[in-house]
A and B are shown apart, each in its own frame.
Chain A
């Protein structure tokens, strides 16, 4: 399994580092004011509402997954199987 993981990592980074012929993103791109972004939305603080909503859904799904995980573990235990 360790070997497999190593191969995976190499593949992943080979793909990520394959970035020839690309434009640099410069610091200027972070501070220019001619590209419209959701600045007012952020200034109003509504981005935190959105973040909260997405986090609630994320936590909900994770909690649900944990419950299913435990349920499966309980059935495994009942059947005397303890693989994980």
Chain B
């Protein structure tokens, strides 16, 4: 538990997010009603996922440049927790969509993009699991990881905005589309993104340490 100040910070932020997210005022908007509070829980999953997966790519690049095995370990574990966040994002999004859009899955471009992106990342773990040789596994999966992230970014951030999407930030449903966040929502939303992401980093750090122990690997 050395250097654990940021873990304490994580807990403080998350408590603030839960209490503030449930108790503070939110705008009274049609269709959304109280579910607007999902903004503090559903959306940070995606932000957290993209940050964790970005960290994973950085470590994959560093592995390819240096050949240090520990970077491969870190890349794999960051991807692992990133995908966990993505799965939470999909599940919470489906529940929210059932009540806001009327369907669990409406083939919304962003929903489809997220699903395809997660499948690409699941293939990353299949790939890792299927290679016997450690060096080969690390190298090939690092290259694949870069490809996966490069595919994920357009799937989540570019393609959905080029067509009509139910999600904010694109054309389409005017009753629901794209309310700008005001300062009161941001007061919780930004800490929520930071808090949930830090929780992901914490879980990742433990996974990395366990992996190092099981590999009997030095840093």
Contact = CB atoms under 8 A, between A and B. Distances in A.
Interface of A: 4, 8, 11-12, 15-16, 18-19, 21-26, 29-33, 35-38, 47, 50-51, 54-55, 58, 62, 65-66, 68-70, 72-73, 75-76, 79, 81, 83-84
Interface string B137-158: 0000000000000000000010
Interface stretch (B24-32, B91-99, B103-111, B122-130): B24-32
B65 interface: no
11 contacts: A4-B55, A8-B54, A8-B55, A19-B178, A29-B28, A29-B29, A32-B28, A47-B22, A58-B14, A70-B1, A84-B2
Interface residues of B, number: 48
Contacts of B178: 19, 21-23
Contacts of A73: 1-2
A68 B206 contact: yes
B28 A51 contact: no
B33 A36 contact: yes
Interface of B: 1-3, 7, 11, 14-15, 18-19, 22-23, 25-30, 33-34, 47, 51, 54-55, 58, 157, 168-169, 177-182, 184-185, 190, 193, 202-203, 205-206, 209-210, 212-213, 216, 218-219
A79 B213 CA distance: 9
Contacts of B169: 18-19, 22
Q: Which 10 interchain pairs have the tightest Cβ spacing? A: A29-B27, A22-B180, A35-B28, A25-B182, A22-B178, A83-B219, A25-B27, A72-B209, A51-B22, A38-B34
Contacts of B213: 72, 75-76, 79, 81
Contact of A65 (B27, B58, B203, B210): B203
